[in-house]
A = this chain, B = another copy of it.
Amino acid sequence: MQRFINNPDEVVEDTVKGFVKAHADMVRLGNGNPRVIVARHAPVAGKVGVITGGGSGHEPAFIGYAGRNMLDAVAVGELFSSPTAKSFLDAAREANGGNGVVCLYGNYAGDNMNVKMAIKLAAKEGITIATVVANDDVCSAGPDEREKRRGVAGEIFMWKCAGAKAEQGASLEEVQATAQRAIDNCRSIGIGLGPCTLPAVGHPNFQIAPGTMEVGIGHHGEPGVRVEPLKPAAEVAREMAKIVLDDHSLASGTEVAVIVSGLGATPLNELYILHDTIETEITGRGLKIYKTYIGNYFTSLEMVGATLTVMALDDELKTLLDVDVHCPAMP
């Protein structure tokens, strides 16, 4: 492993320490729980708290989205593992301004279980946690089983819209409804060109043969829908756009926001190469791109690959997307 790590079992510990040092103006560690990252301004009395949580190794997700107008607190799991129920609970405590907390997270078994436990524990303390479960990953289940799909980079849009909505003084139900609408409007697809390695394991737990690509790969190397010969970027981009847009079936004229994210080891110039064709495909269907994010927004350790996320916009989502944020991960 050609990697910058210390003890493979302390990757998360070391990452979080460096993260808090680098961004001390925006974030701090949770009180008594180093597996919670809290935005400096939180909690805000009267404001609905907005939290998430997830496994580590996806940086800047999840921790990098803690900050003003975004997430108030983030529960931090081990690499590719759910945070504990206790960490979700502590994140809710840190974010609680007295009017409830929304927990906006991805659809994974461990996260579902731990969030449920945290909800019960929080209720005993008088903290109401409402949830929205992200399921934007198109290839992880068919259109008739959307509730089974995993959550991926669409979560960023969900956090951003909900964070801005909460800052406006919206109620718990309103923030939850906005987050739900944001993620319902998102579709994502991942393409894998090379695997990643959990440092404590020391070798990849899945393979992508040279000359091939995994279409629909998940954020932890979950198998996609098919393995294909690696094609020129323009063809890959067309395939990504087709999968996402066919599932979305948006009316011509709809405005959308786009994320093209690297998975960790794909250089930025290749994301721009993909976007050149993605933009052509999206606008070719009569859609209008309102905002574009290109970069490493949601990664999987040193996986080689890229994801595309398209969110359909309405007037309110546009307004919420335009609100400035002050968090480590976003311009």
Give me the interface of A with B, judged by CB distance under 8 Å.
2-7, 11, 14-19, 21-23, 56-57, 59-60, 64, 193-194, 208, 210, 213, 230, 232-234, 236-237, 260, 264-276, 279, 292, 294-296, 299, 301-302, 304, 306, 328, 330-331
Contacts and interface: CB of A to CB of B under 8 A. Distances in A.
Contacts of A3: 193, 266, 270
Nearest to A6: B232
Contacts of A265: 264-267, 302, 304
B2 A269 contact: no
A233 B8 CA distance: 11
- Quick one: copies of this chain in the complex? 2
A58 to B, nearest CB: 9
Sorted nearest first, the 10 A-B pairs with minimum C-beta distance are A18-B272, A18-B276, A265-B265, A2-B193, A4-B270, A18-B275, A59-B268, A4-B233, A264-B267, A14-B273
B2 A276 contact: no
Contacts of A56: 269
A193 B4 CA distance: 9
B294 A22 contact: yes
B15 A273 contact: yes
A2 B210 contact: yes
B230 A275 contact: no
Most buried by B among A16, A18, A193: A18
Given A264-B267, A268-B296, A6 B302 contact: no
Given A267-B264, A302-B265, A276 B193 contact: no
A264 B270 CA distance: 11
A269 B57 contact: yes
20 contacts: A2-B193, A2-B208, A2-B213, A3-B193, A3-B270, A4-B271, A6-B234, A7-B232, A11-B269, A14-B233, A18-B294, A21-B276, A22-B275, A22-B292, A23-B292, A56-B269, A64-B268, A265-B266, A265-B267, A267-B301
Contacts of A275: 18, 21-22
Contact of A230 (B2, B292, B299): B2
Contacts of A264: 265, 267-268
Contacts of A304: 2, 265, 302
B267 A6 contact: no
